[in-house]
Amino acid sequence: MLANEERRIDIRFIASMLACGIMSFSGVVVETAMNITFPVLMSEFGVDTATVQWVTTGYLLMLTAIMPLSSYLKRRFKMKVLFAVAITFFLAGTILCALAPAFAFLIIGRLFQGVGTGVALPLMFNIVIEQAPLDKMGLMMGVATLITATAPAVGPSVGGLIVTCWGWRMIFVVLLPFLIASAFTGIASIRQVSATQKAKFSVLQFVLIAAGFSCLVFGANAAAESGWLSARVLLLLLGGVALLVLFGVASLRSNNPLIRVSIFRKVPFTLSVLYVVLLSSIVLGLGYLIPYYAQTVCSSSALVAGCLLLPGCIIGAILAPLGGRILDVFGARGPLTFGAICQFVAILLFMGLALGNAVWVFAAVYVLIPIAQGFSMANSITNGLRFLPEELKADGNAAFNTLQQLGGALGTAIVTSIVGSAQAGVLQDLVAGTIIGTQEGFFALLAISGIAMVCLLVVCLLMKRNSKKA
């Protein structure tokens, strides 16, 4: 681990972040952009709705299986090796998707992309954690978080534009020049600053954690179709929780854990993780609700609906590094509190003002969500990791990245199931059912937002108490 006086933001540091960032951004953009293509894919390949969902579900499953391994992989292999593996898988998957002669090849390509993103995204954050100057850690974590904060908003608009003008395969083709540039940049710039270890790989732990997260993802997806109280959904969710508990027990008893779950004994860290999970569920839930409402109720085109999120996305991209710099200079409590208030107020405004208004109202109100992300998402990660010793920060990073993806999946599933249930109750009027479902979806997100605010409040109180003791 580098001493603070050895940490510096130089051209190699920036280039290595850029290389990992391009790949990670591409993965998240494609994940959201492909949702626009589902009707086209169903027609071209002759598959039904349940089958086409595997374009996203398969990618997400592979992502959640690989990300928990990031701490182990960092200890075991050199960063440049990890990057080379990630870019190889992502490039191969992108080419396979672009040329896919059958639906099965498209799925395999998406699985390959999931492996690439699953390695690259935690790698980018680990580079920041190990190499960024401590007095600029918040700033650089904010820059890194731009990837996960802006890509979900960019995906639908870019996907809608590309599909409308050139077809769905071009979504993958346009990525190739950027990925090739990423490959050369990463190989040339990524440096190793910590020694590797001959850590043993536990097959049992991997099976338990991969199966656990898979059950949760499957359960969330199934809930959108059959409801949260159906036997299948309950079995999957309870099974997922049970498998993760078994993983925790196995990890605590192991001399070579894949993730050292002792990190969750730190209450401020655990609450910071929970906040990031809840905020991710709000962001992805809104990413579904707003475009769908605009298309179904306001008769907007797919392109217009996707672009509703862009203004806020641009503002969030500017504010994330600023929020991190404020943390560096003034501490965490101010930006965290401000971000939490913004996301809560945004949901209240959506409930009270947005419905029944012109589509521009959605864009105006949504701006508050990226502001909340900019001030509280990256800062929650940065602040949460401060409660861990240096040797456990890679494990903390793995937890943040993995559970953030799971939170997004759960948020989408929650609002999808709510809207679907409301539409089923008003079969004769799709618009009326969508309005009711959207209102109920906003209410559910408001409840999630309230829990998130409580988490940050407790973290801030614990920080204040610890500072007084110090």
Domain-embedded: residue 470:
no
Distance from C-alpha of 90 to C-alpha of 93, rounded to nearest angstrom: 5
Same domain, 136 and 232: no
In the listed set 257, 274, 289, which residue is the last one of a domain according to the structure? Answer: 257
Is residue 153 pLDDT above 70, yes or no? no
Q: How many domains does the chain have?
A: 3
Residue 425 lies in a domain: yes
Q: Which CATH number do you get for residue 448?
A: 1.20.1250.20
Of residues 470 and 371, more confidence is placed in 371
Asked if 22 and 92 sit in the same domain, the reply is: yes
306 and 414 share a domain?
A: yes
Q: Is residue 404 part of a domain?
A: yes
Same domain assignment for residues 90 and 134: yes
Decide: 87 and 66 in contact? Cβ < 8 Å. no
Give the confidence band of 15 by pLDDT, cuts at 50, 70, 90. very high
In a domain, 197, yes or no: no
327 shares its domain with 408? yes
Packed helices 333-349 and 430-469: angle between N→C axes, nearest 10 degrees? 160
Residues 181 and 247 in one domain: no
Structure confidence at residue 467 (pLDDT): 63
**How large a percentage of the chain has pLDDT more than 70?**
93
Encode pLDDT of 23-50 as tens digits. Answer: 888 888 887 777 777 778 888 888 876 6
Neighbouring residues of 281: CB distance < 8 A, sequence distance ≥ 6: 407, 408, 410, 411, 412, 414, 445, 448
Alpha helices per DSSP H over 137-175: 137-165, 170-173
What is the pLDDT at residue 108? 95
8 Å CB contact between 409 and 60: yes
Statement to judge: residues 303 and 340 lie in one domain: yes
Task: Say whether both 234 and 147 belong to one domain.
Answer: no
Q: What's residue 63's pLDDT?
A: 86
**Highest-confidence range of 82-91, 336-345, 348-357, 411-420, by mean pLDDT?**
82-91
For residues 298 and 150, membership in a common domain is answered with: no
In a domain, 229, yes or no: yes
If DSSP codes are grouped into helix, strand and coil, which group holds residue 299? coil
pTM: 0.85
93/149 same-domain check: yes
Within-domain flag for 352: yes
Q: Same domain, yes or no, for 161 and 73?
A: yes
Question: Does residue 196 lie within any of the structural domains?
Answer: no
Rounded Cα–Cα distance for residues 456 and 325 (Å) = 19
Residues 427 and 332 in one domain: yes
Domain boundary among 257, 277, 301: 257
Instruction: Please give the residue range of the domain that contains residue 217.
Output: 202-257
Q: What is the pLDDT of residue 379?
A: 87
Residue 468 belongs to some domain of the structure? no
For residue 258, give the 3-state DSSP assignment: coil
Looking at residue 389, what DSSP letter applies?
-
CB 47 within 8 A of CB 41: yes
Which range has the top average pLDDT, 140-154, 247-261, 307-321? 247-261
405 within 8 A of 67, measured Cβ to Cβ: yes
Q: Cβ(196)–Cβ(71) under 8 Å?
A: no
